[in-house]
A and B are shown apart, each in its own frame.
Chain A
């Protein structure tokens, strides 16, 4: 499992590199090489590492381990076909991790990045009503049972398309340089991660690589079913490119607009869930 974990982390970082490259090419810039995020992680591992004098030391360092730990757990759950509820629970807990990253340093930039993270969590939590929709259709939230259901009834992509849109929005909100990336907006320097340098930032890069792989792979598993490894890889790259297009052509929203749009989608999803609930269940 360790080899798979390292591969997943490297592949996630490669996807983030592809993401940056595609955005740059759409915006007519050369952009960094696709392996730039892998180089970043390696580079930060050997940089000088310190804890700011104003920081809450144990929390400042400990939160990096928590970030890597939760996404390692999510990867393990995904690989063993565990519960979708755990994976998306971890996704939401990542918001708290960002909050802790931001507040622990004492920096005003980190603090506002963390605050924005919590505000955006308020509008993203209800999006998980789409998880309930998946449960209503398949009768289970275990990934193995969901994929088994899809093998019989066909992909959920067609059966529960509004849930696909909502989950796509969740993915988009986690991609850097996107319309919802208010937590690391440039007016806050690097937002919640401004003060985390050296090995701490390398840990954060590892976490980002794992997070990207887990979220994209879970999206495909849930909505397209169990695919061969090669198709899974191709699907994740295509999904990344589509997200990059959305990020490249959409300006970053203000925090208010970001929350408003996510809340509107949530309202639509609640209506859809209500329809599914009355239509699917006797």
Chain B
């Protein structure tokens, strides 16, 4: 553990449940917190679109109802991301990751555009499918090592985590967090409502960064 994200600065134990702050997890946690605060205080931008073949342009305005819903989902996404960053338990990490996937769908599905909704629907199917390898990986971690605690796994005293469990965990995270990287569906990450769309990108990247640490443990 100490050789990956730095020596844990503070560990909070709830029985088997662990929350720990290392230099790495605290960096990621603070970023999730910062962007969540930005999502709370920012109003959405008015995206300008230039009409093809002329000088005309239009601006997209987000209704108050849509803004409220997407802001709520962005805050929920931020909270889930913060949880995923500091948890020291593999199962909790998968739970938070699944929640990030659900809230990401919510952030983009609320946009009143058929193209964005179509992209959100397809992403939703991917995220739904990804829960199988995601939770399967957590089950394999528990079955193979007898523990889900990252600190216990990092000690090296438990049996090694099977490679297939790590692979399934990565596949699950990729599926849940692929919203902003789903290049064929750019409608999602160029949709209006920058503070909320950014939360979508940020949460996905954060869980990618955290899973890189998780799979190197054990």
Contacts and interface: CB of A to CB of B under 8 A. Distances in A.
Interface of B is mostly: helix
Given A73-B27, A96-B201, A118-B180, A56 B4 contact: no
B42 A59 contact: yes
A129 to B, nearest CB: 9
A82 interface: yes
A93 B205 contact: yes
A119 B31 CA distance: 21
Given A115-B190, A141-B3, A142-B6, A108 B48 contact: yes
Contacts of A59: 38, 42, 45, 194-195, 198
Contacts of B208: 92, 125
A54 B27 contact: no
Size class of the contact patch on chain B: 35 or more
A171 interface: no
Interface in B163-218: 180-181, 183, 186, 189-190, 194-195, 197-198, 201-202, 205, 208-209, 212-213, 216
A104 B195 CA distance: 7
B45 A103 contact: yes
Interface of B: 2-6, 23-24, 27-28, 31, 34-35, 38, 41-50, 59, 180-181, 183, 186, 189-190, 194-195, 197-198, 201-202, 205, 208-209, 212-213, 216
B198 A99 contact: yes
A73 B34 CA distance: 14
Interface stretch (A132-140, A162-170, A231-239): A132-140
A158 B183 CA distance: 36
Interface of A: 53-60, 62-63, 66, 70, 73, 77, 82-83, 85-86, 89-90, 92-93, 95-96, 99-100, 103-108, 111-112, 114-115, 118-119, 121-122, 125, 128, 131-132, 135, 139-142, 145, 259
A83 B23 contact: yes
A92 B209 contact: yes
A114 B2 CA distance: 35
Nearest to A106: B45
A140 B38 CA distance: 35
Contacts of B195: 56, 58-59, 104
B44 A89 contact: no
16 contacts: A54-B48, A56-B42, A57-B43, A60-B45, A66-B31, A82-B6, A82-B23, A85-B24, A89-B24, A93-B205, A99-B180, A99-B201, A106-B48, A119-B183, A132-B216, A139-B3
